[in-house]
Structure 1
Amino acid sequence: MSTLSSSLYLAEQVRELDRRTIAEEMNGDGFALMKRAGRSAYRALRRRWPQVRRVTIACGAGNNAGDGYVVAALAAADGLDVQLLALRDPASLSGDAGRAVTMAGDAGVEALAWQADTPLEGEVIVDALLGTGLDGAVREPYVGAIRAINESRLPVLAVDIPSGLSADTGVVLGTAVRATMTVTFIADKLGLHTGAGPAHVGEHRLDTLEVMAPSHADLIPVARLLSSTQLAAWLPPRLADGHKGDYGHVMVVGGAPGFGGAALLASRAAARLGAGKVSLATAPEHVTASLVSCPEVMVHGVRSVSELTPLLHGADVIAVGPGLGTGAWGQGMLQGVLDAGRPLVVDADAINLLAATATVMNRDDWILTPHPGEAARLLGWQADDVQADRVVAVRRLQQACGGVVVLKGSGTLVGDGRDIMVCPYGNPGMGSGGMGDVLTGMIAAMAAQGLSLERAACAGVIVHSLAADDAAHEGGQRGLLASDLASYARLWINRQVHGPPGSA
């Protein structure tokens, strides 16, 4: 069993893998594959909670319920006390699920009809209510069962997917189980890793059940997971005779009068992530504070685009947007940046200014880093529309704007027009001011050091999230500041052996 797979699929693709495996490798015996899934889920339960003696298993209908009945049979055979709650009459289940009901009965497990006042007697709950085929809002009695599971505060093992979560989008379909651990089968699903998915999945486990998805080349993954192991290949050791001119010049443009902090955060992050030189073009009143805070950054006070333009010619990458504002100063600075003919990282108010134009510009030489609200403004949507299908949103953005798009949020997406990458790192402590500004600086630093725009975006997203995870591991999620990340990020980009968040 592996923790993560690099390839992510839609639910229908995984069901097709299921069908092919049963037809081609199991002589049509789907129950054999169901038993594999049930055994996998039960093994995960015992490894995660080895002292458990009582377990509650909630089953709905279909193959997801069948997996749950198999778990019930195995738990009973292992000597555990099993409370089996059925939201669908077990006698009504047919096919492989019906065979699983018989297996549980043969093991001496009696299913009880779910009632709203049924006490949950187990030390751990197994969620086998609704599977990946759910495509509409959860209905009663499942709504009540999910509410009872969540309100119990007991640990929950979700079988294949937390009930009520969309396997394709990570959207909660009305209500969804908040699992402690999810064991998903055959191939990994996109919805487990983006949107609301990570908040409901808990600890993630994939068991392929010996089904080899890569051998079915016609089933192309919808996205791929980013990994910390990619950093070593993208950021090789520096040559002994290297100098600052070899590592790129980042120019940060932002910090309208009264908004100097955001641009400084981006500048400092770019410096810590290894850019050879970092310059900051900001409103004149912020120069002194910037020099005091980070003297390594070359600060220029600029009042107009005519003062900015000469500075831009020496930059390899320009990061624009942090603290830019949408007034006359910000509008002038953005226009100067757009005219400079340099690769760009575009964030915050620069995105808002672009969204306000009649026609959104399309360029191949930029990286846009919107959060869902900014993405919605670019697309003419509502933020909820973006979150309803983040993959569609990032594709539409890339088609409209060109370049590379980083759609921030839980399970950040990176799209370059060919592939979509998903970041599996990060934590809720990142929900504080300035985090996006730091990401902008990090991505710009990666691009300045010679990475392609797509790799620069991916590397910046990975390091940003891993740094936040390390900071949260050390000091907690509450009170995590954007300025905390740069020092942790520096450690990640200098590691030759990369491991999971928090590892040495």
Structure 2
Amino acid sequence: MQAKALYTAQQVKEGEQKLSTELGIEMFELMERAGKAVFEHIKRCYPNNHNIHIFCGSGNNGGDGYISARLAKASGYNVTLVHIGDLNRVKGDAKIAQEKWSRAGGKIETLEEVTSKQCDLIVDALLGTGFEGELSIEYAQVISHINLSDADAVSIDVPSGLCSDTGFVSGECVEATHTVSLIGLKRGLFTGLSANYTGEIVFSGLGVSDAFNKENPTNISLISKAEVNQHLTKRPKASHKGNFGRVLCLGGDRGMFGAIRLTSEACARVGAGITRVVTQPENVSALVSARPEIMVFDWRGNSNEINDHLWWTDVIALGPGLGNSSWGRSLVGYSRTVEKPIVVDADGLNLLAKTPDFNSRRVITPHPGEAAKLLNSTTLEIERDRFASAKKLQLKYGGVVVLKGAGTVVYDGDAYWVCKNGNPGMATGGMGDVLTGIIAGLIAQGLSLAVAARVGVWIHATAADICAEADGERGLLAADLFVPLRCLANGL
């Protein structure tokens, strides 16, 4: 999958119509290419699956399915095609595709007729990118049938039941093994609940993607390794620790020193010059013994001491293990007295929700539950449209928003970036604390807030993937990320 620009369904629809006119390519020709791309994928990935069931809807997605069916039949595959919905509603190019299928000797069968037939592979051409809202009972039943089958499923453009703009699923959705995305990658394929349904995403530009991307600029893109490594340049040979920034990590109330310990080490592992922790007195010895390279100070409420720390630092990491006591609330208050870059997570976000302010120098890294508190909303509403939620957070709080979760979304007020890396093993305590330290450490080394956020998110997720590949997802610990983290921070 080469493309990294992401689009809404409307952008792709309007863009392909415009391209059709400008390049002199009939829209039906693009449909033919789409159907062929899906069939070529089937031949490549499923050369021995000769009994194919193709489920078509009444729109253009169904038209793509009819073309794939015709090509598969002509190549000797045993194709069973089921049309869902009113055949009289099939119009335009989809109608042409349907008629060509019929002229080629293809039959249209009912769901009841195919339940007893052998099936090696399913093609989902039911709804495509035009779907949003709630499924009809008929479509829900068909999708349930597909998911109950033992056969793999290939979805055309987007798994039916998934909103291609948001990645949200409100009911039944095809659980695809592969999704063949056409002309432009749809943004909803890479965030939120989509991870449960898309399977492997395969891209086909249908021979027009370069022209499409040129004519249709977008402010949403995937974070790529190439872009990340552009920002991780080699250090000059004559360097010293003062060249790479000073980070102050504030947190670790009583009984919660592990969080700030993870944050501080992550900060050091990505290359911050000096990392300092301010924490509760009883945490000092444990932190120093665990990581002697970190400077650790206790704080008992003295204003001169904390002001000295804030004056010293280039970047603040606030929140991990901070708690909700007067000790933590005081640190939040003091952090607001200086105009320095700050990364806020965990308890820092919970306290921010109680006393909101706008700060253009801040990166916030909420998971959906924290985002709901920040917006006085619900987790369901946050997940319903993660792009819109990130925008609301940025408008209210400023700076850069990192909305964590499957397909983390980064938004800086102008552009969005989505991280397709990461795995379910990251659903464990301490992962967010590590991310906070990574981003703060990168800012300290001179990266802008937006660049540090997306580079940090990618490094964090990719380190977790390396660990999961080696030892599995279950049992992955936040501290396991430190070794691959260092390699990735060096562009390796």
Q: Same fold (TM over 0.5)?
A: yes
Q: Does 1:87 align with 2:84?
A: yes
Contact (CA 8 Å) 2:279, 2:297: kept in 1 or not? yes
Contact (CA 8 Å) 2:80, 2:114: kept in 1 or not? no
Runs of 4+ in 1 over 6 A off after TM superposition: none
Quote the Cα distance in structure 1 between the aligned partners of 2:302 and 2:181: 54
Aligned to 2:156: 159
Aligned to 1:290: 287
Which amino acid in the other structure matches residue 403 of structure 1? G
Aligned to 2:96: 99
Post-superposition shift, 1:467? Answer: 0.3
The SS at the match of 1:303 is: coil
Post-superposition shift, 1:220? Answer: 3.8
Which amino acid in the other structure matches residue 311 of structure 1? H
Contact (CA 8 Å) 2:15, 2:212: kept in 1 or not? no
Which amino acid in the other structure matches residue 52 of structure 2? V
Cα RMSD, aligned residues only: 1.7
Aligned to 1:40: 37
- Superposition pairs of residues 488-503 of structure 1, within 5 angstroms: 488-495=484-491
Segment drifting more, 209-218 vs 342-351: 209-218
Quote the Cα distance in structure 2 between the aligned partners of 1:252 and 1:214: 47
Higher fraction of helix? 2
Post-superposition shift, 1:154? Answer: 2.2
Deviation track 1:56-91 (CA, whole Å, cap 9, x = no partner) reads: 111111111111111111111111111212213546
Contact (CA 8 Å) 1:244, 1:276: kept in 2 or not? yes
Aligned to 2:175: 178
1:54 and 1:218, CA in 2 relative to 1: closer, same or farther beyond 3 A?
A: closer
- TM-score normalised to the size of structure 1? 0.94
Post-superposition shift, 1:92? Answer: 5.0
Quote the Cα distance in structure 1 between the aligned partners of 2:272 and 2:325: 30
Aligned to 1:232: 229
Post-superposition shift, 1:211? Answer: 2.3
Segment drifting more, 364-373 vs 299-308: 299-308
The SS at the match of 2:377 is: coil
Post-superposition shift, 1:25? Answer: 3.1
Post-superposition shift, 1:242? Answer: 0.8
The SS at the match of 1:426 is: coil
Contact (CA 8 Å) 1:60, 1:87: kept in 2 or not? yes
Segment drifting more, 73-82 vs 209-218: 209-218
Aligned to 1:466: 462
1:457 and 1:491, CA in 2 relative to 1: closer, same or farther beyond 3 A?
A: same
Count, aligned residues: 491
Q: Does 1:300 align with 2:297?
A: yes
Quote the Cα distance in structure 2 between the aligned partners of 1:126 and 1:117: 14
Aligned to 2:334: 336
Aligned to 2:321: 323
Quote the Cα distance in structure 1 between the aligned partners of 2:150 and 2:458: 32
Deviation track 1:285-330 (CA, whole Å, cap 9, x = no partner) reads: 1111111211111111112252422222211111000010111111
Deviation track 1:354-396 (CA, whole Å, cap 9, x = no partner) reads: 1012xx2111111111111111111121111111111111111
Segment drifting more, 207-216 vs 137-146: 207-216
- TM-score normalised to the size of structure 2? 0.96
Post-superposition shift, 1:466? Answer: 0.5
Equivalent position to 1:168, from 165, 169, 184 = 165
1:136 and 1:116, CA in 2 relative to 1: closer, same or farther beyond 3 A?
A: farther
- Superposition pairs of residues 43-442 of structure 1, within 5 angstroms: 43-90=40-87, 92-115=89-112, 118-119=115-116, 121-212=118-209, 219-304=216-301, 306=303, 307-357=305-355, 360-442=356-438
Quote the Cα distance in structure 1 between the aligned partners of 2:233 and 2:213: 34
Deviation track 1:416-436 (CA, whole Å, cap 9, x = no partner) reads: 111111111111111111111
Post-superposition shift, 1:129? Answer: 0.8
Quote the Cα distance in structure 2 between the aligned partners of 1:304 and 1:119: 74
Unaligned stretches of 5+ in structure 2?
A: none
1:233 and 1:170, CA in 2 relative to 1: closer, same or farther beyond 3 A?
A: same
The SS at the match of 2:383 is: helix
What fraction of aligned residue pairs are identical, expressed as a percent?
42
Quote the Cα distance in structure 1 between the aligned partners of 2:70 and 2:212: 33
Contact (CA 8 Å) 2:315, 2:340: kept in 1 or not? yes
Quote the Cα distance in structure 2 between the aligned partners of 1:20 and 1:279: 56
Quote the Cα distance in structure 2 between the aligned partners of 1:216 and 1:188: 10
Unaligned stretches of 5+ in structure 1?
A: 497-504
Post-superposition shift, 1:481? Answer: 0.9
Aligned to 1:5: 3
Contact (CA 8 Å) 1:158, 1:181: kept in 2 or not? yes
Contact (CA 8 Å) 1:318, 1:342: kept in 2 or not? yes
The SS at the match of 1:112 is: coil
Contact (CA 8 Å) 1:305, 1:332: kept in 2 or not? no
Contact (CA 8 Å) 2:132, 2:162: kept in 1 or not? no
Which amino acid in the other structure matches residue 141 of structure 1? E
The SS at the match of 1:111 is: coil
Deviation track 1:231-252 (CA, whole Å, cap 9, x = no partner) reads: 2210111111111111111111
Contact (CA 8 Å) 1:160, 1:182: kept in 2 or not? yes
Which amino acid in the other structure matches residue 80 of structure 2? Q
Quote the Cα distance in structure 1 between the aligned partners of 2:398 and 2:143: 42
Contact (CA 8 Å) 2:153, 2:175: kept in 1 or not? yes
Aligned to 1:502: none
Segment drifting more, 117-126 vs 197-206: 117-126
Aligned to 1:19: 17
1:424 and 1:157, CA in 2 relative to 1: closer, same or farther beyond 3 A?
A: same
Deviation track 1:463-500 (CA, whole Å, cap 9, x = no partner) reads: 0011011111111111111111111111112235xxxx
Which amino acid in the other structure matches residue 322 of structure 2? L
1:64 and 1:152, CA in 2 relative to 1: closer, same or farther beyond 3 A?
A: same
Equivalent position to 1:487, from 461, 483, 487 = 483
Equivalent position to 1:456, from 438, 452, 455 = 452
Post-superposition shift, 1:222? Answer: 4.3
Contact (CA 8 Å) 1:131, 1:160: kept in 2 or not? yes
1:326 and 1:44, CA in 2 relative to 1: closer, same or farther beyond 3 A?
A: same
Contact (CA 8 Å) 1:56, 1:120: kept in 2 or not? no
